[in-house]
Amino acid sequence: MSEWAERECRIACGRENPNFDFDSDEFDYGCSCYKSALKAYKSLMEDEHSSASFEFTKNILIRLLEGQPLTPIIDEDFFDENGNLLCMDMPSDYPKERGLKSETQCPRMSHLFRKESLDGKVTYHDIDRSYFVDIEKPSNTYTTNDSFLDEMFPITMPYYPQVGKFVIYAQEFLTDKKNGDFDTRGLIYMTTPDGKRVELGLYYTEIDGKWTQIPKAQYDELLSKRIDKLCEKVADKLIWTTLSNSVSEDESDRRNAAYAKMSDEWKEKYRNYLVELCKFFENEENYKYNTFGMEQALSRGKKKEDEGDAKYSGIEPLKRIAEHIEILIETLNNKIVTKDDIESLRKHDITLKR
């Protein structure tokens, strides 16, 4: 089995970086991760486990790698050997300002907190048991306030969390420029650590600087008035990626300098047509294609050698987008750019932010 594992790691590493010498001590981020995983695997195999003990050991290792306790957390874990609460290092009046008698971080599980209210009610909050997925761009994940989760699935003692997390699928958009990147959020549904889907239907918007829960009808009305149209966001990101993703920083600067020399009329017409093509992504069924990987593939344009092998192969709307990006690439390549143009770009920072 060790030989099989090493062969798989070598194959994966070769595809990750064909120029990497697997037997050398040189560092490559991706390939070095494969080598590290292989080292751990071989260590387990050297212990000559039976099938059962190997599975048991694997599950222990997975929990340790996930930062999960091996035995259940109990309330006594928040107290020292003398029975005193292990209070966090904070100003003495801080808990009271938040309506709490105490707040304690679990020494066995650093992302678990015990809170006791002034009236003696004890609650627990695990800040690492969930993450959010942008339903409009599934490759975008993030963490934010998930207090609603404690109401739906309150933590009780003893606490032995499952491996895996609650995954919350959310939509965010902007209705007023003064509110920054977004001012309305919908929590559509989530999946539990054991894979069950739970409908949420929780909607919020920013009113007078505070997040306020709103009904679905109001959310839908705000959605119809959003100013950050998805098709425009995707089009602008594709242009930015095409200009910025190159084999070298010099080539990226050359592309940005060439783009800066194009007429505003040409750029506006080009963008407008790309926005039209990107309306494909506004269909909920097509959100799944709006990913980082697809973005990278489309920004390389449509090459003949990519036929049948590209991520967008067989999907006509995406092929048309790639063909349109190819026009931008060819126009950039045909634009004469001098060293002075690039120096001027660097001096005045006339470039799309990377």
The highest-confidence range among 127-136, 298-307, 324-333, by mean pLDDT, is 127-136
Task: Please compute the mean of the pLDDT values over residues 283-298 and round it to a whole number.
Answer: 94
The answer to whether residue 316 scores a pLDDT higher than 70 is: yes
Q: How confident is the model at residue 92 (pLDDT cuts 50, 70, 90)?
A: low
Burial of residue 177 (CB within 10 Å: 0-12, 13-18, 19+) is exposed
The answer to whether residue 312 scores a pLDDT higher than 90 is: no
Task: Please compute the mean of the pLDDT values over residues 68-94 and round it to a whole number.
Answer: 83
C-alpha distances in angstroms, 231 versus 95, 259, 273, 287, 325? 45, 21, 11, 11, 15
pLDDT tens digits for 217-273?
999 999 999 999 999 999 999 999 999 876 677 888 888 888 998 899 999 999 999
Closest by Cα among 95, 198, 103 to 151:
198
Q: Which of the pair, 251 or 125, is modelled with greater confidence?
A: 125
pTM of the complete model: 0.79
DSSP per position, 312-330: TTT-HHHHHHHHHHHHHHH
Tell me what the pLDDT averaged over the chain comes to: 88
Each domain of the chain, given as residue ranges in start order, spans 2-48, 75-224, 230-348
The answer to whether residue 212 scores a pLDDT higher than 50 is: yes
The answer to whether residue 343 scores a pLDDT higher than 90 is: no
C-alpha distances in angstroms, 118 versus 98, 115, 121, 122? 10, 10, 7, 10
Helix axes of 230-244 and 264-277: crossing angle, nearest 10 degrees: 120
pLDDT tens digits for 24-50?
988 888 889 999 999 999 998 998 888
**Identity at 354, one-letter amino acid code:** R
The highest-confidence range among 26-40, 78-92, 277-291, by mean pLDDT, is 277-291
Would you state the pLDDT for residue 303?
67
The answer to whether residue 208 scores a pLDDT higher than 80 is: yes
Would you state the pLDDT for residue 354?
33
pLDDT tens digits for 149-196?
999 999 999 999 988 999 999 999 999 999 999 999 999 999 999 999
Least confident of 197-201, 228-232, 242-246, 283-287: 242-246
The answer to whether residue 97 scores a pLDDT higher than 90 is: no
Q: How confident is the model at residue 351 (pLDDT cuts 50, 70, 90)?
A: very low
Q: Residue 104: beta bridge partners? A: 114
Task: Please compute the mean of the pLDDT values over residues 322-335 and round it to a whole number.
Answer: 90
C-alpha distances in angstroms, 117 versus 92, 97, 101, 124? 15, 11, 5, 11
